[in-house]
């Protein structure tokens, strides 16, 4: 069971009869709208996964969908909390250097530059569409767990200003999953082309970690 509680941030007043939609990462599946009840809660009979919460058609949360998710708004017209992250949260600008081998991939009709391994030249070019195209080129079929790791890597960077270590990932995913799926072995199974710190960061639009150059 997944529940979404929608309330006003300043007064904690629940928003009633507000449509909430869940959009799942793994298959882009989308629930029908569920109206919040008198306590501001919309309930979905779904197993945990990775995805987004849309409130009145606007994205308000992205990440792991499990238990109760609280969406607190300053106003019902507050700008979207979209999946690309807020301006300034992530590095931006070209990281190209003389002699770098560049390649171009088409992302929804737009040419996006990467290096020879698929790392974005400009991290600001990241999008969910890029993840899908790059992972397909690497032969990786994305599931809920891949998206959870990718979103964790981006959120961790936004919060701390540097990439998560494998130890950080193990500590986090042992807590939200279980000890086996949160292990180093399982995380490398999910991202076989260099593990979560290499392939995961690449798909998350982050820079190479130290020692990869």
Tokens of 71: 């969406």
Looking at residue 157, its pLDDT comes to: 87
Q: Which CATH number fits domain 2-73: 3.40.630.10, 3.90.120.10, 3.40.50.300, 2.60.40.1120?
A: 2.60.40.1120
pTM (two decimals): 0.73
* Angle at 165 (CA atoms; ends 161, 167), nearest 5 degrees: 135
Residues carrying CATH 2.60.40.1120, the chain: 2-73
How far apart CA 201 and CA 144 sit, in angstroms, is 16
Q: State how far the alpha carbon of 186 is from the alpha carbons of 149, 177, 178, in Å.
A: 12, 11, 11
pLDDT digits (tens, 9 = 90+) for 3-18: 999 998 878 899 999 9
User: Residue 73: its pLDDT value, please?
Assistant: 84
Strand partners for 24? 51
Buried b / exposed e across 81-111, counting CB within 10 Å, b at 16+?
Answer: bebebeeeebeeeebeeeeeeeeebebeeee
Listed residue (71, 89, 82, 70) closest to 158, CA to CA: 89
- Residue 179 to residue 191: CA distance in whole angstroms: 18
Q: How far apart are CA 58 and CA 76, in angstroms?
A: 10
- The DSSP line for 157-190 is HHHHSSPPPHHHHHHHHHHHS-TTTTSHHHHHHH
Sign for the CA dihedral angle at 200, 189, 137, 103 comes to positive
pLDDT of residue 211: 46
CA–CA separation, 76 and 134 (whole Å): 35
Tokens of 132: 């899908």
What is the Cα–Cα distance from 204 to 150, expressed in whole angstroms?
Answer: 5
Q: Are 94 and 109 in contact (CB under 8 A)?
A: no
Express each pLDDT in 86-109 by its tens digit: 444 566 677 777 888 999 999 999
**Domain boundaries for CATH 1.10.10.370 within the chain:** 102-203
Fold designation for 102-203: Arc Repressor Mutant, subunit A (1.10.10)
At a CB cut-off of 8 Å and minimum separation 6, what does 196 contact? 149, 153, 166, 169, 187, 188, 190
Q: Which two tokens stand for residue 122?
A: 């400009």
- pLDDT at position 207: 82
Residues of the chain where predicted confidence (pLDDT) is lower than 70: 75-92, 210-213
Give the whole-angstrom CA distance, residue 71 versus residue 3: 11
């Amino acid at each position: 069971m997944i529940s979404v509680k929608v309330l006003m941030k300043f007064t904690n007043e629940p928003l009633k009869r507000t449509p909430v939609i869940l959009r799942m990462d793994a298959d882009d599946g989308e629930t029908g709208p569920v109206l919040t009840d008198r306590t501001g809660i919309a309930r979905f009979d779904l197993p945990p996964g990775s995805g987004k919460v849309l409130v009145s058609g606007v994205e308000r949360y992205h990440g792991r969908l499990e238990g109760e998710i609280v969406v607190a708004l300053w106003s019902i017209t507050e700008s979207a909390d979209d999946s690309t992250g807020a301006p300034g949260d992530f590095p931006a600008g070209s990281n190209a250097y003389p002699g770098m081998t560049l390649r171009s991939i088409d992302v929804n009709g737009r040419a996006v530059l990467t290096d020879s391994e698929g790392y974005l030249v400009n991290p600001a070019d990241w999008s969910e569409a890029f993840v899908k195209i790059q992972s397909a080129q690497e032969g990786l079929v994305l599931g809920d767990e891949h998206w959870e790791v990718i979103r964790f890597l981006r959120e961790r960077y936004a919060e701390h200003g540097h990439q998560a270590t494998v130890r950080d990932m193990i500590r986090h995913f042992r807590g939200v999953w279980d000890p086996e799926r949160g292990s180093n072995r399982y995380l490398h199974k999910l991202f076989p082309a260099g593990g979560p710190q290499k392939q995961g960061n690449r798909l998350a639009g982050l820079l190479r970690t130290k020692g990869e150059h």
